[in-house]
Amino acid sequence: MTTAVDTAPAPAAPSPAPAGGGRPRRRLLRGEGSGAPLLVLPTVVLLGIVIVYPVVRGVWMSFQKDPGLDKATGMFVQGGTAGFSNYTHWLLQQCAVASGGTTPCPSGNLGAEFWVAVGVTVFFTVASVSIELVLGMWFAMIMHRSFKGRGLLRASVLVPWAIPTAVTAKLWFFIFDYRGVANRLLGTHLLWMGDAWPARFAVVIADVWKTTPFIALLLLAGLQVIPDEVYEAAKMDGASAWQRFTRITLPLVRPALVVAVLFRTLDVLRIFDLPWILTGGGGGSGHATTTLSILVVQQIRQGFSSAAALSTITFLLIFAVAFVFVKFLGANVAGTPEEGR
Amino acid sequence: MAVMTAPSRAAGVARRRTRNRNVRTFAGVALIVLWGLAPAYWMVVTAFRRVDYTFETSPWPTHVTLANFRTAFDTGLGNHFARALVNSLVVGAVTTALAMLVGVFCAYALARLQFRGKYVLLGVILASSMFPPVALVTPLFQLFTDLHWIGTYQALVIPDLSFALPLTIYILTAFFREMPWDLEEAARIDGCTQGQAFRKVILPLAAPGLFTTAILAFIAAWNEFLLSSELSSDRTQPVTVAIASFAGSQPHQEPYTAVMAAGTIVTVPLVLLVLLFQRRIVAGLTAGGVK
């Protein structure tokens, strides 16, 4: 392919530069970055196909009417533009009626479940992330402190992370069975999946079990970059353990903390598999654990355009939260070299 | 351990404090290990338990049997677990291969080169990795129905790339940033082109990072549920979807022991991979998170 001489295989041994002869005929990519567009192009094209195109199509769909039988005339209609009616269906619970106007959605209609789903999703997010954060910080500090058995610790926290969420959900479904081990250990006789709040807490518990290890590992990596000398100096100055934690550990681990919270928040806001499999999508009287993502999937079977509107709303919500994090909390998710280097 | 030259009371107090601290740390370690392993252990114990002792709560393996594994693979009840395993392997492997193939070049450019629009691209990739898959499900379901793709592998691989590719690029970029690039310079001085320096010097050094990234991408694809539950047919169903809808011999009764057996089969290879390469995987997971 090229006429270059093979001088490279032993990079550690500095060999003298060859005198000209072995230069390839191809233009040398001396100027850094001149080849970048070519390297990046496949990614841009592929992301365009798998993300941008579906999103654009989804947004377009959300402004369309579903083709189908018009209830008023009994005629097949070809769809057409719907304006914002698919959005008002969710945000204001307005359902279309035969006469052409709108009416408040009756209970039982998925539209009426929108704000409930928002509440459930926000509850899952706040509960899971805050518990995971406190527990994860504690785990990370123990892992940081213990020198023996670090391998065992790392292995055991990776196990919940490695188990597929679908299996995790089934496992906790079994644990939370009426005759299962949760009721036995707690001495309770709860129908975990039958009541709203037990079902919700079951989801939170399973989620906390699975993802606390991930947070602990992120925070551990953050703890490991704090030099010991800082703690030594603080000890010399007579700082108590609590002061060392709040004045040194927390501020210095903050970048890792913010990133962990951001990742987990965005993750729980789009949660689907765990509540869907663990509680059968409903829980309690039917919608106790219905998150926004679950509501979208339920809506798909009843009409694409409404589902597209709801998934667009979900997407915008998550995007807004991410924006707030990056903008106001200064989450340096990109790990840009300008900072800290 | 003890400081011999300081036989004062202070040393005793310090020693006691250290011991208390060690006890507390040890208790913490025990708790974390229990946290991680106890539920997983329960799954394995149940998988080996006779179905009529499903709700036995003895913490030790009792009524041990292999029957649940036979039930899991039994197609008589309408479960196609073996086929689902093959489907997950194929979809996971193809997704990983494609994501790596495309992602490695992009990550190299992001970590190594300066070009216009670099940070915009980085932002787009990050935004896509935080993207909710539900936003893809509706348009893709309609599109693939129109194309008659529901029930094909490409209908699973293409959506999986939406998270596998950003993940791959994200982790690889972090790995590449840590590479000893001086060696590339040295190779270039020795007469290599940029491409050759990359292939002959950087790629071998980057192999562990590439391997870890591939494992993480494969695990992500293997664990995917939402997209495949909507976009697969019975024929292309992956294991996660198969396990979620496992049918038992009695209607309306969850076949717990068989599900736990299936779950064990799905999990064991992953757990082995993770335990073998734990150091690397942790490095990959936290890469970029705390830079």
The per-residue pLDDT for range A195-228, each reduced to its tens digit, is 888 889 999 999 999 999 889 988 988 888 888 8
- Residue B141 amino acid letter: F
What's the pTM? 0.84
Across the strands, what pairs with A109?
A107
In whole angstroms, give the CA distance from residue B50 to residue B163: 39
Residue B28 pLDDT > 80, yes or no? Answer: yes
**Closest residue by Cα to residue A294 from A85, A279, A316, B221:** A279
**Closest residue by Cα to residue A318 from A278, A271, A275, A270:** A270
Mutate to test the interface with B, among A125, A174, A212, A317 (most CBs of B within 10 A): A174
Q: Does A51 touch chain B (CB under 8 A)?
A: yes
Mapping DSSP onto H, E and C, the string for A104-171 reads: ECCECEHHHHHHHHHHHHHHHHHHHHHHHHHHHHHHHHHHHHCCCCHHHHHHHHHHHHHCCHHHHHHH
Range B87-101 burial, b when 16+ CB lie within 10 A, else e: bbeebbebbbebbbe
Ranges of residues in chain A with a pLDDT under 50 are 1-31, 337-341
pLDDT at A1: 37
Residue B60 lies in a domain: no
Query: Residue A217 and residue B285: Cβ atoms within 8 Å?
Result: yes
Residue A58: which of B135, B159, B223 has the nearest Cβ? B135
Residue B62 lies in a domain: no
Residues B47-59 have pLDDT tens digits of 999 888 888 878 8
Q: What is the mean pLDDT of residues B103-108?
A: 91
Residue B291 pLDDT > 70, yes or no? Answer: no
Range of the domain at B43: 9-47
Query: Residue A307 and residue B138: Cβ atoms within 8 Å?
Result: yes
Provide the shortest C-alpha distance from residue B291 to chain A (in Å). 5
Q: What is the mean pLDDT of residues B16-20?
A: 73
B255 or A73, which is more confident: B255
Residue B145: its chain A contacts at CB < 8 A? none
**Closest residue by Cα to residue B229 from A204, A205, A300, A56:** A300
**Statement to judge: residues B82 and B43 lie in one domain:** no
**Statement to judge: residues B96 and B197 lie in one domain:** yes
Residue B59 lies in a domain: no
CATH number at residue B251: 1.10.3720.10
DSSP H helices, A177-291, are: 181-186, 196-224, 228-236, 241-244, 250-269, 273-278
Q: What share of chain B has pLDDT > 90, as a percent?
A: 29
Q: What is the mean pLDDT of residues B21-28?
A: 81
**Closest residue by Cα to residue A114 from A330, A274, A322, A317:** A317
B80 vs B73, B76, B160, B262, CA distance in Å? 7, 9, 22, 11
**Statement to judge: residues B42 and B76 lie in one domain:** no
Mutate to test the interface with A, among B42, B108, B190 (most CBs of A within 10 A): B190
A279 or B289, which is more confident: A279
**Statement to judge: residues B21 and B128 lie in one domain:** no
**Statement to judge: residues B231 and B263 lie in one domain:** yes
Residues B76-104 have pLDDT tens digits of 777 889 999 999 999 999 999 999 999 99
In whole angstroms, give the CA distance from residue A123 to residue A39: 43
Query: Residue B29 and residue A151: Cβ atoms within 8 Å?
Result: no
ipTM: 0.87
Residues A17-69 have pLDDT tens digits of 444 444 443 444 444 556 788 888 999 999 988 888 988 988 888 888 876 65
Query: Residue B135 and residue A314: Cβ atoms within 8 Å?
Result: yes
Query: Residue A340 and residue B113: Cβ atoms within 8 Å?
Result: no
Query: Residue A164 and residue B267: Cβ atoms within 8 Å?
Result: yes
**Statement to judge: residues B28 and B157 lie in one domain:** no
Q: How confident is the model at residue B8 (pLDDT cuts 50, 70, 90)?
A: low
Query: Residue B177 and residue A340: Cβ atoms within 8 Å?
Result: no
**Statement to judge: residues B153 and B85 lie in one domain:** yes
pLDDT at B159: 93
Residues B260/A171, Cβ–Cβ less than 8 Å: yes
- Match 């926000």 to its residue by tokens: A122
- Overall number of domains in chain B: 2
**Statement to judge: residues B195 and B229 lie in one domain:** yes
For each of the domains in chain A, give its residue range(s) and CATH number, in order of start: 112-328 (1.10.3720.10)
Residues B135-193 have pLDDT tens digits of 888 889 888 988 999 889 999 999 999 999 999 998 898 888 888 878 888 888 888 88
Residue B56 lies in a domain: no
